[in-house]
């Protein structure tokens, strides 16, 4: 299994890819470039065709070829456990972050509703605008409707997160059986 990988960007040739993935400078730069191209092609035979350069595609970075990789090269996980653990952690973090955003949205809606129903505000608006009562009524209705929609979205999100965690657990179990 590869221990280093990179994602293709807009590279469309081995030369460009090699230049972006390895530090190629100084004396013998042309030789180093050819060496890097050959190593990339051995590790990724699909790069021999233009179709092999699809943006976003992951390529394997050959190890120990005597060239220093650039910061575009990332370490790959040696086992599925690391990736599955990281995925679980990221799912938990995303769930907590979005749950916090939903809670903040609920709090803001409650505060806005409290301001709109404030007796002093209602009286001031009635004095300034004859149709103010209707506007405030419509605002309360809209805030209530949006709060219900947000609650529905939050419930769907929570269910989706539970499903994602369950599928991740199933994937972990499958990976364990393959050992």
Residue 10 per-residue DSSP state: S
pTM beyond 0.75, yes or no: no
Average confidence score pLDDT of the chain: 85
Res 133: pLDDT: 85
Reported as a single tens digit per residue, the pLDDT across 42-85 is 888 888 888 888 888 888 888 788 888 888 887 665 556 667 77
- pLDDT tens, 109-127? 999 999 988 889 888 888 8
If one counts every other C-beta atom within 10 angstroms of the C-beta of residue 22, the result is 25
The confidence score (pLDDT) of residue 63 equals 77
Residue 1 pLDDT > 50, yes or no?
no
* Per-residue confidence (pLDDT) for residue 2, from 0 to 100: 52
Residue-wise pLDDT for 135-164, tens only, equals 888 999 999 999 999 999 999 999 999 999
pLDDT at 39 over 50: yes
The DSSP secondary structure of 85-115, one letter per residue, reads HHHHHHHHHHHHHHHHHHHHHHHHHHHHHHH
Q: Lowest mean pLDDT of 31-40, 61-70, 162-171, name the range.
A: 61-70
Domain boundaries, the chain: 4-75, 80-177
Which range among 18-22, 89-93, 97-101, 158-162 has the greatest average pLDDT? 158-162
Q: Which residues contact 116 (CB under 8 A, 6 or more apart)?
A: 136, 139, 140, 143
Consecutive H or E run containing 60: strand 58-60
pLDDT confidence of residue 81 = 64
8-state DSSP, 50: G
């Amino acid at each position: 299994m590869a221990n280093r990988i990179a994602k293709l960007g807009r590279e469309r040739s081995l030369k460009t890819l090699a230049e972006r993935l390895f530090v190629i400078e100084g004396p013998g730069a042309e030789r180093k470039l050819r060496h890097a191209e050959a190593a990339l092609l051995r590790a990724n035979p699909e790069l021999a065709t233009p179709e092999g350069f699809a943006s976003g595609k992951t390529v394997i970075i050959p190890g120990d070829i005597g060239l220093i990789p650039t910061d575009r090269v990332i370490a790959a996980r040696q086992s599925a456990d690391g990736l599955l653990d990281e995925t679980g952690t990221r799912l938990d973090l995303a769930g907590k972050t979005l749950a916090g955003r939903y809670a903040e949205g609920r709090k803001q809606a409650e505060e806005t509703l409290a301001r709109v129903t404030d007796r002093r505000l209602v009286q001031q608006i009635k004095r300034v605008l004859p149709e103010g009562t209707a506007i405030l009524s419509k605002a309360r209705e809209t805030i209530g409707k949006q709060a219900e929609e947000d609650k529905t979205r939050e419930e769907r999100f929570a269910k989706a997160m539970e499903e994602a965690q369950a599928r991740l657990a199933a994937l972990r179990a499958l990976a364990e059986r393959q050992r």
